[in-house]
């Protein structure tokens, strides 16, 4: 039986989750995380997209992503293929790197955007990897918390911050307050 076709609406954000095969690690060390970011940057130069929030965990990752030009299926195909090639080459492996098709959910409204972004940024805290989201280096939370952090061109934190009023610093502070647990 064929899988149902995914629905893609231009400019809508989608929460994407992709997990390593057999829940094995996707990222074994810092160079793997950096390689993934490099792939995102390279792809962004060819097919523009925006990420509002992300978190790369050891055996899976979350993206809150949108594109006006390319479906998220196409984007994920490029991202996952490039990373799988990198991973299999580096670790001298063959076969599947990812468990199955990635999970996707279209974000419908402001509450959904804020809820999913919060969920993504709190993922390492919930997994008891860190006590606070700012202690986890592989998430976009740093761009919300640290005013000196320089975001890559594919990051658009305004997609979240525009839901708040005030200066950019006040908006960041209000967003970060929602993550306190």
Q: What is the CATH number of the domain that holds 102?
A: 3.30.70.1290
Tell whether 145 is covered by a domain.
Answer: yes
Q: Which domain holds residue 42?
A: 14-177
Q: What are phi and psi of 71, to 5 degrees?
A: -65, 155
Give the residue among 33, 20, 71 at the shortest CA–CA distance from 152: 33
**Number of domains making up the chain:** 1
pTM summary value: 0.92
Tell whether 59 is covered by a domain.
Answer: yes
* DSSP conformational letter for 28: -
Residue 163 in this model has a pLDDT that exceeds 60: yes
Q: Which residues of 20-57 are buried (b: 16+ CB within 10 A; e: fewer)?
A: beeeeebbeeeebbebbeebbeebbeeeebbbbbbbbb
Distance CA(99)–CA(104), nearest Å, equals 14
- Summarize pLDDT for 30-84 with one digit per residue, the tens: 999 999 999 999 999 999 999 999 999 999 999 999 998 888 888 999 999 999 9
Q: Which residues of 106-143 are buried (b: 16+ CB within 10 A; e: fewer)?
A: ebeeeeebbebbbbbbbbbbeeeeeeebbebebbbbbb
What average pLDDT does the structure give for the chain? 92
Lowest mean pLDDT across 37-46, 92-101, 119-128, 137-146? 92-101
User: What would the mean pLDDT of 71-99 be, rounded to a whole number?
Assistant: 92
- Summarize pLDDT for 3-24 with one digit per residue, the tens: 667 677 678 899 999 999 988 9
Residue 181 in this model has a pLDDT that exceeds 80: no
Tell whether 6 is covered by a domain.
Answer: no
Which pLDDT belongs to residue 180?
Answer: 77
Distance CA(60)–CA(25), nearest Å, equals 8
Q: What are phi and psi of 24, to 5 degrees?
A: -70, 160
Which pLDDT belongs to residue 3?
Answer: 64
């Amino acid at each position: 039986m064929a899988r149902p076709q995914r629905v893609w609406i231009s400019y809508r954000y989608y929460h994407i989750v992709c997990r390593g095969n057999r829940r094995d690690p996707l990222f074994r060390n810092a160079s793997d995380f950096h390689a993934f970011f490099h792939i995102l940057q390279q792809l962004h130069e060819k097919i523009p997209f925006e990420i509002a929030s992300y978190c790369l965990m050891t055996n899976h990752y979350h993206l809150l992503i949108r594109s006006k030009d390319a479906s998220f299926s196409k984007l994920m195909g490029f991202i996952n293929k490039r990373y799988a090639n990198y991973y299999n080459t580096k670790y001298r492996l063959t076969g599947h790197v990812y468990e199955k098709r990635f999970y996707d959910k279209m974000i419908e409204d402001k509450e959904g955007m804020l809820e999913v972004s919060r969920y993504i940024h709190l993922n390492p805290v919930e997994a008891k990897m860190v006590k606070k989201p700012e202690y986890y280096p592989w998430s976009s939370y740093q761009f919300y918390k640290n005013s000196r952090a320089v975001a890559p061109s594919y990051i658009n934190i305004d997609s979240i911050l525009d839901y708040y009023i005030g200066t950019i610093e006040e908006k960041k502070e209000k967003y970060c307050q929602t993550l306190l647990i």
